[in-house]
Amino acid sequence: MLERAMGRGAVSLTATMDRAGVVFVVGYGDGRRGVVELTTDSYVYGGTLRGDGKAAAFVVDMSLAYSLQLGRIEAFFRTGRAPVALDDAVEVMAMLDAAQRSFDTGTSVPVGA
């Protein structure tokens, strides 16, 4: 969701863990930052988008996530059109890899390196 909201361009990622969970801070080449929090024992996903002097909170209803994903997979096999651009998918995978590397090392790491 962070990549969808912020767009491509992540350059660094730092993961910090404490008793409440893990916080990921993603740095972008143009000076923006995105923050993702994973709270221990919480299965509600949401956050706040901030920019241009405004803020908007959101909560994601994950109860239909699996069936909605299956619908997109079925449409892909039927039409051959991916629901996500390849460049977006590659950056998301690079961010997930960087998140794991940062979590493992306790340091800030480059995205895609």
Single-letter code of the amino acid located at 57:
A
Predicted TM-score (pTM) above 0.75:
yes
Q: Which two tokens stand for residue 72?
A: 């997109």
What CA–CA distance (Å, rounded) separates 51 from 62? 25
Q: pLDDT 10s digit of each residue in the chain, 113 long?
A: 888 888 899 999 999 999 999 999 999 999 888 888 888 888 777 788 888 888 888 888 888 889 999 999 999 999 999 999 999 999 999 999 999 999 999 999 999 86
Q: Where exactly are the structural domains of the chain?
A: 2-105
